[in-house]
Amino acid sequence: MATRADAVREIAALSEQLRRHAHLYYVLDAPELPDAEYDKLFQRLQQLEAEHPDLRTPDSPTQRVGGAVLDGFAKVRHKLPMLSIRTETDITAGGASAFDTRVRKELGLAPDAAPVEYVCELKFDGLAINLRYESGVLVQAATRGDGEIGEDVTQNIRTVQQIPLRLHGAAPPVVEVRGEVYMRRDDFEALNARQRDKIAAGQKNEKVFVNPRNAAAGAVRQLDPAIAADRPLSFFAYGLGEVSSPAEGGPDCPTQFDWLQQMHAWGFPVAAQTQRASGAEQLIAFHETIGRLRDTLPYDIDGVVYKVDSLELQRRLGFVSREPRWAVAHKYAAQEQVTEVQAIEVQVGRTGKLTPVAKLAPVFVGGVTVTNATLHNEDEARRKDVRVGDRVIVRRAGDVIPEVVGVLPESSARPDDQRGPVFTMPRRCPVCGSDALREEGEVDYRCTGGLYCAAQRKEAILHFAARRALDIEGLGDRLVEQLVDAVLIRVLPDLYRLGFTTLAGLDRMADKSAKNLVAALEASKKTTLARFLFGLGIRHVGESTAKDLASHFGRLDGIMNATEEELLEVHDVGPIVAKSLRTFFDQPHNREVVEQLRACGLNWPEGEPAARVPKPLAGKTFVITGTLPNLSRDEAKERLEAAGAKVAGSVSKKTDYVVAGAEAGSKLDKAQQLGVAVIDEAGMLEILQTTV
């Protein structure tokens, strides 16, 4: 047995060797050591750590094999939201040109101004992950979740060999690297081959995976890290979350491309196809080049991503509706396959919408096996003349619902007596028998049964319980179906009248599951007005609109009693949304549901309505730089925004004031160059005081 002093030195040397060789093998694809020699080094490190357990560190190469089985995933609130980016719907070269035109317009560039510099990246088909490093060591890995709150999957991510447990070289105090966990096609095929062997050997609970993305996402979300370690996962880095500023010891990277180079230097794989581009023409060239190479890549992509390279320009462009103006995803043409229509059925959605759905002979398209495809509505089904027995083209792109593109000519050319009947939407709901009506100017038929329609009840409950609404963990499709079919739930408030005994008596519901669901229901009673409003499933009211309504009115009663004119005063609420809200709250049974939910104990913080008078600093732009003596930047920003000011991230000629604290840097220099007024914290507070 090695002495402690010898063990310390040997463990350090072995760890460094193993990290280097793992990086050469998994990231650079340039191994220098035979597998057998690597295994010897690894086994020696395991032996030393077994002899001296206190010398085993979280970033040791031996800690990639997985840990204890988890009971569940802890929630993680992202320091900076993991926002989605806009998808360009024009898949032709015009999509790239349209993005460049929008960027130039937002920046106020003249037609003859120099082209904007971009970074072009691949759009991977995997699972987005946020990796947090403190003093260079991986301390947490979290999924995107709803963009604000994800799941802690650190133990599983430790098993991904391409993700460094310790950053190479100098590291800032804090950095969050974001990227995509994915599965290569060859690894996916090998995994499925092993799964087929297990199934053939009679092993239960094994399955063949549908596509690489689902296999990768399922591995990351395994409660047993040993299972995740057995799945061949890979990773590409492409973005950042929280990161220490240069003043705090972080790198000074002025562009997206510089950050990608820094990530690569820290030990992360960055797609080799990533490149800079100047103007729309080079964006188009990149899109076309990758399109030709797409099928030869060893992993799945569904498009490319363009980002403005300069971080300063990114700050100037900002965001719109939680999406950056400085980035866009440009997809490729959807994948298509041919199959046969075996039946046409009508599905009823949670809002009562009746949708014709073609039941198909199974076909593999867009990475999944498709058996259903939407026909959208009666007009569309008739326009395409889709009938039972026809051979049709089915399209699926990304996570978009598969659709029938059209009927093959040889099918549509058959005589009518050899084809199925022309589709006609039923005039009664196929679930509850209520009238199905089509409003003037609408293309869709809707069931009038409301919450009395079982189909709508199930979907309404699932929507209410969803993560972005009341977040009732454990209330899934099968359980909701049981509860509704057993007539244990007729309206939403019935959820909170369920007891342990009732739940434990259901099929496949163990005592522990029943207890957990009762606890989840109780926890969901404490929520926010925006989540509750979104959870009601009001037509046209999404998350963003619900937040705007909650902020504007402050109280639910204010929203429920607002006129259409008052609703139109809310940011981003137009006539359609206003009418939908008014129609919803004009129904007595909807108000009754709300009051019953309140009586069941649902509650949220409420405040006074937003002031209807102009705010004193409306139209003024402030920039905060440096460390203020008494207020944090967020506190200063909140005070300024409460007074109506806009707080920008960069200095320009349009800036009215720069609030400078200790160690103010380039923003202060630029303000002085442009002649922008510079004030300190006391000056800012004086302005706020005089505007009250």
Catalytic center residues: 123
Which stretches of 45-173 are assigned E, i.e. beta strand?
75-77, 86-88, 117-124, 127-134, 137-143, 149-151
- Do the beta carbons of residue 24 and residue 31 sit within 8 Å? yes
d(CA 259, CA 252): 9
Distances from the Cα of 437 to the Cα of 470, 580, 650, angstroms: 31, 16, 53
* Residue owning tokens 């491309």: 257
Q: CB 231: neighbour CB atoms within 10 A? A: 20
Q: What is the DSSP string of 339-395?
A: EEEEEEEEEE-TT-EEEEEEEEEEEEETTEEEEEEE--SHHHHHHHT--TT-EEEEE
Cα distance from N-terminal residue to C-terminal residue, the chain? 74
Convert 339-353 into a string of H (helix), E (strand) and C (coil): EEEEEEEEEECCCCE
Helices in 78-170 by DSSP H: which ranges? 93-107, 154-157
Q: How far is CA 135 from CA 17, 166, 175, in A?
A: 20, 9, 9
Q: Are strands 677-679 and 657-660 parallel, antiparallel or unpaired?
A: parallel
Instruction: Classify residue 74 by its DSSP letter.
Output: P
- CA torsion through residues 216, 220, 222, 224, sign: positive
Q: Which residues contact 451 (CB under 8 A, 6 or more apart)?
A: 457, 460, 490, 491, 492, 589, 593
Nearest one of 621, 580, 617 to 691, comparing CA atoms? 617
Inter-residue contact 164 to 23 (CB < 8 Å): yes
Phi, psi of 442 (to 5 degrees): -100, 155
3-state secondary structure of 604: coil
Among candidates 266, 397, 261, which has minimal Cα distance to 337? 397
446 vs 598: CA distance, rounded Å: 29
- Give the chain's largest Cα–Cα span: 90
Which residue intervals of 52-124 are DSSP H helices? 93-107
- Coil, helix or strand at residue 182: strand
**What gap in Å lies between CA 67 and CA 156, rounded to an integer?**
8
Contact 375, 404 (CB under 8 A): yes
Exposure letters 633-666 (e unless 16+ CB within 10 A, then b):
eeebbebbeebbbbbbebbeeebbbbbbbeebee
Distance separating alpha carbons of residues 365 and 311, to the nearest angstrom: 38
Closest by alpha carbon to 84, among 118, 123, 117, 120? 123
Paired sense of beta strands 335-348 and 353-365, if any: antiparallel
DSSP-derived letter for residue 601 is: T
Burial zone of 692 (CB within 10 Å; 0-12 exposed, 13-18 middle, 19+ buried):
exposed
d(CA 186, CA 106): 43
